[in-house]
Amino acid sequence: MTLKSTTDADDKDCWQTPVWLFDALDIEFGFWLDVAANKHNALCPQFFTDEANALERDWESHGAIWCNPPYSKILPWIEKAAEQSRKQHKAVVVLVPEDMSVGWFSKALDTVDEVRVITDGRVNFVHAGTGKEKKGNSKGSMLLIWRPFINPRRLITTVSKHTLEQIGREVRAA
């Protein structure tokens, strides 16, 4: 049985990463640039909007680079992340649906250092219109991580959603 999304087409590519998830990862990576954002959902001090066209420009950054790309077209973001990690000498972390059966995942395996699968539950993304987390994500999530100074190891690791949520909420409360 295939699960179909019930999200309006206009909102499909505008979901924000939950702040607790971003905060937990920010401790590890130190993000400075969000390359797939808008003024309502950006999570970094610097961000690129659709108008800035992140796929057509360099991702110059003073820290790690965060990307929660439009899920309607992931492959160009995978290719750009690999290129820019090497070019900018920065870690790039891309949040994507956990689906290892698709072509973009095979392409990512050519260059990615780590695939980190989020276990123990699905991430509830923040709705563009309401600003609230919405349940009903039809797939799990994973992080594709490029590190610039090592040969890609293609590691597959896991992290519990509960652990990330606990860490992220503690950071926000501090």
Q: What digits encode the pLDDT tens for the residues 85-99?
A: 999 999 999 999 999
Q: Is a pLDDT exceeding 50 seen at residue 102?
A: yes
Residue whose C-alpha is closest to residue 67's, from 25, 36, 88, 108: 36
- Per-domain residue ranges of the chain: 13-173
The fold of the 13-173 domain, in CATH, is: Rossmann fold (3.40.50)
Structure tokens that stand for 97 in this block: 């649906």
pLDDT score for 35: 98
Annotate 104-157 with DSSP letters as a single string: HHHHHHTT-SEEEEEESS---PBPTTT-SB----SS-EEEEEE-TTS----EEE
Residues 6+ apart with CB under 8 A from 73: none
Strand-pairing partners, residue 115, are 144, 156
Residue 5 — very low, low, confident or very high, per pLDDT cuts 50/70/90? very low
How many angstroms separate the CA atoms of 95 and 18, rounded? 11
Q: Is a pLDDT exceeding 90 seen at residue 56?
A: yes
pLDDT (tens digit, 9 = 90+) per residue, 128-163? 777 788 887 889 999 999 999 999 999 999 999 999
Of 97-106, 107-116, 126-135, which range is least confident?
A: 126-135
pLDDT (tens digit, 9 = 90+) per residue, 18-46? 999 999 999 999 999 999 999 889 999 99
How many angstroms separate the CA atoms of 82 and 113, rounded? 10
* Terminal Cα distance for the chain, rounded: 43
